């Protein structure tokens, strides 16, 4: 079966088939990939334990699908174009042949440093081609990578390394993001004080920042590459992996303070990332595809590295930020590299909108044919600006909805094939069976309805477990509504049957497209010496979508509230990272609690949103008076 759907009629027919005969459908899709041995069984599943197995018994290596199989036909074609943070620095282009050689080379470095199949490796790097090379080299030798976004703190890294008992860390001396220098190696050094399992740290030279190199533990990437060259290890045969072998762990925020390691496996993830990339973006050979995400998030895994490379695409990686050195940078990159497909976040779009039309002047965006949005629902104003100013009303916009746990896009228009509607993720992709349920788990049928979004049947990219804690996976995703995967999102299905995501229904915020658990932020705030207790909620934010509003109890009145606010923000930055810093901190004498001690976040959310006229029944609170005080002091 062809991966790409070419008309709406075909979509309807393929979707129907994928629901009525899912195993036949996915087997036909999987036939587009290279397997060392075919599967014994396409699918075995239950959502009770949960236990999901796709392509059971099949043998493969994802890097052969991303690299080796393209060498004869696309060897000299650009696989990765890298655009640096500083526009005056030269960009780099790696062909499929060059990328293959570098991946084999670094895979041999890993082997030289004792890495074996099944070992966990933490990667904390800037957005460089070497980051993609590190991921692919891990996958080639069968090691499990756990990438940590370069903005996370030492404590966040230590938590993730210890949870996965990583034996090796790959990092760089430092990195650049906009005007900021990132002290990556020194952050790793701080983290490793708490990590007994790490035996080796491989350090890439990027910023030439002076760093401490610990004898016996730390080695330079470049020195290790030289050793491989002198040994003459040119090739590195790909390790044979079972379809259900663990491929990577990616940590995501949960509603408890501890991040959870989402586990994806080799076969199903490969098929789903490749299929959704080819289909949603309608990728054509020779097109230049630019996903602006960081590889530290799932979007970068699936739609900068594995999805595009599995389809022989040219994937553009960008080290910088949209507003450096000015707000025209994205458009410079599109113009310079003649980008055809741009996939970015609503946060970036809203931020760039705020600069007006000036940064767009003199930028040739005529190469663009398709646009995409990811990370959170895109508001209508941003959708129209993106459509008119960037796409010149000529490029279909795919507003993609999916999560770390999904491996790839679940609900989205297919570019130029299925209808779009501003603010809507529109229709499920083939193989995806969404349902809306009420609070009691009863399915809500028909159109013009809203409820909690669940998926009732597995797709190949679905989460298999949370690392080291399968019960947590069951409780988080499969226990709320028995027999279904619960997304944690509310959703509306309009009269046309199109889906619109309305936001999280659990205690997870979506800040700039990144999920942050309220419990995680509260734990960090509560670490500050003067804080007794805190409650964190989201509120509408013009640029980020959701901002972080913290209600903080500090009994010892401070002389300088602004300084205390800054201290609290610094504490959060140290413990989680700058991404989780509260936008507003309101000091309160107490929090609205029920008699059993539960904080009524619903009330706080309404106050943060400025909707104080309808707070509902407060009579069940331990101290209803505290609500009036909080209302009066709202920021």
3-state secondary structure 112-146: HCCCCCCCEEEEECCCCHHHHHHHHHHHHHCCEEE
**In terms of Cα–Cα distance, which of 319, 306, 298 is closest to 374?**
298
User: What secondary structure letter does DSSP report for 61?
Assistant: -
Phi, psi of 66 (to 5 degrees): -90, -25
Give the angle subtended at the CA of 491 by the CAs of 487 and 493, to the nearest 5°. Answer: 130
Distance CA 171, CA 216 (A): 16
Distance CA 321, CA 292 (A): 9
Residue linked to tokens 């400025």: 610
The angle, 0 to 180 degrees and rounded to 10, between the axes of the packed helices 129-141 and 96-112 is: 60
Residue 622's contacts (CB-CB under 8 Å, 6 or more residues apart) are 593, 594, 595, 597
* Average pLDDT, rounded, for the chain: 94
Q: Can you give the pLDDT at residue 254? A: 63
Phi, psi of 531 (to 5 degrees): -90, 130
- Tell me: the pLDDT tens digits for 506-555? 778 888 888 888 878 988 998 898 898 899 999 999 899 899 999 999 88
Helices (H) and strands (E) in the chain, counts: 20, 30
Residue 501's contacts (CB-CB under 8 Å, 6 or more residues apart) are 377, 401, 411, 425, 453, 489, 490, 491
Topology given in CATH for the domain delimited by 30-45+91-273+293-304: Rossmann fold (3.40.50)
Q: Can you give the pLDDT at residue 533? A: 87
- Which is more confident, 53 or 526? 53
Contact 634, 627 (CB under 8 A): no
Top-tier CATH class for 512-632: alpha beta
Asked if pLDDT for residue 615 goes beyond 90, the answer is no
- R_g of the chain computed on alpha carbons: 24
- DSSP E strand boundaries for 414-476: 434-437, 449-455, 465-466
Contact 45, 52 (CB under 8 A): yes
Asked if pLDDT for residue 399 goes beyond 80, the answer is yes
Q: What is the H or E stretch that residue 370 is in?
A: strand 370-373
Q: Can you give the pLDDT at residue 619? A: 66
The domains of the chain are located at 30-45+91-273+293-304, 512-632
- Which is more confident, 593 or 90? 90
- Tell me: the pLDDT tens digits for 100-149? 999 999 999 999 999 999 999 999 999 999 999 999 999 999 999 999 99
Phi, psi of 440 (to 5 degrees): -90, 5
């Amino acid at each position: 079966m062809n991966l790409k759907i070419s008309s709406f009629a075909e979509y309807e027919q393929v979707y129907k088939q994928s629901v009525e005969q899912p195993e036949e459908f996915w087997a036909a899709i999987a036939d587009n990939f290279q397997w060392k041995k075919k599967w014994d069984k396409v699918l075995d599943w239950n959502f009770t334990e949960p236990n999901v197995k796709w392509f059971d018994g099949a043998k493969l290596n994802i890097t052969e699908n991303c690299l080796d199989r393209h060498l004869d036909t696309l060897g000299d074609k650009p696989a990765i174009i890298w655009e640096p943070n500083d526009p005056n620095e030269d960009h780099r282009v790696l062909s499929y042949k060059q990328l293959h050689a570098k991946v084999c080379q670094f895979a041999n470095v890993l082997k030289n440093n004792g890495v074996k199949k099944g070992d966990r490796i933490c990667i904390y790097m800037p957005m460089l081609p070497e980051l993609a090379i590190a991921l692919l080299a891990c996958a080639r030798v069968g090691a499990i990578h756990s990438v940590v976004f370069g903005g996370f703190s030492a404590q966040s890294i230590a938590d993730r390394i210890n949870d996965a008992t990583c034996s090796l860390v790959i990092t760089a001396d430092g990195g650049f993001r906009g005007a900021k220098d990132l002290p990556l190696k020194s952050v790793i050094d701080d983290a490793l004080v708490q990590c007994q399992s790490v035996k080796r740290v491989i350090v890439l030279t990027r910023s030439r920042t002076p760093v401490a190199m610990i004898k016996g533990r730390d080695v330079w990437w470049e020195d290790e590459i030289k050793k491989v060259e002198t040994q003459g290890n040119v090739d590195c045969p790909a390790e044979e992996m079972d379809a259900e072998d663990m491929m990577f762990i990616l940590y995501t925020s949960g509603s408890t303070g501890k991040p959870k390691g989402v586990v994806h496996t080799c076969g199903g993830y490969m098929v789903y990332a490749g299929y959704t990339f080819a289909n949603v973006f309608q990728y054509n050979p020779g097109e230049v595809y630019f996903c602006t995400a960081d590889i530290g998030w799932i979007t970068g895994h699936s739609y900068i590295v594995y999805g595009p490379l599995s389809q022989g695409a040219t994937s553009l990686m960008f080290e910088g930020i949209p507003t450096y050195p000015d707000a025209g940078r994205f458009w410079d990159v599109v113009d310079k590299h003649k980008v055809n497909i741009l996939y970015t976040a609503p946060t970036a779009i809203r931020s760039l909108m705020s600069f007006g039309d000036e940064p767009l002047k003199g930028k040739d965006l005529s190469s663009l044919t398709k646009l995409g949005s990811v990370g959170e629902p895109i508001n209508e104003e941003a959708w129209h600006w993106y459509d008119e100013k960037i796409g010149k009303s000529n490029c279909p916009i795919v507003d993609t909805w999916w999560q770390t746990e999904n491996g790839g896009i679940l609900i989205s228009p297919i570019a130029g094939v299925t209808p779009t509607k501003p603010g809507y993720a529109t229709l499920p992709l083939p193989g995806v069976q969404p349902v809306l349920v009420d609070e009691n788990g009863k399915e809500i049928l028909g159109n013009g309805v809203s409820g909690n979004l669940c998926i009732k049947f597995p797709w190949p990219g679905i989460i298999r477990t949370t690392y080291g804690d399968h019960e947590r996976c069951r409780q988080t995703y499969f226990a709320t509504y028995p027999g279904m995967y619960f997304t944690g999102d509310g959703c509306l299905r309009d009269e046309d049957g199109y889906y619109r995501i309305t936001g999280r229904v659990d205690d997870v915020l979506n800040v700039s497209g990144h999920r942050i658990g309220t419990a995680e932020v509260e734990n960090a705030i509560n670490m500050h010496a003067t804080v007794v207790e805190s409650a964190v909620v989201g509120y509408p934010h013009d640029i980020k979508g959701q901002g972080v509003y913290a209600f903080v109890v500090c009994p010892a009145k401070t002389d300088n509230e602004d300084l205390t606010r800054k201290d609290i923000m610094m504490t959060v930055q140290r413990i989680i990272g700058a991404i989780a810093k509260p936008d507003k901190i309101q000091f309160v004498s107490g929090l609205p609690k029920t008699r059993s001690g539960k904080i009524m976040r619903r009330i706080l959310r309404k106050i943060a949103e400025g909707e104080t006229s309808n707070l509902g029944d407060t009579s069940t609170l331990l101290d209803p008076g505290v609500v009036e005080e909080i209302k009066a002091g709202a920021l």
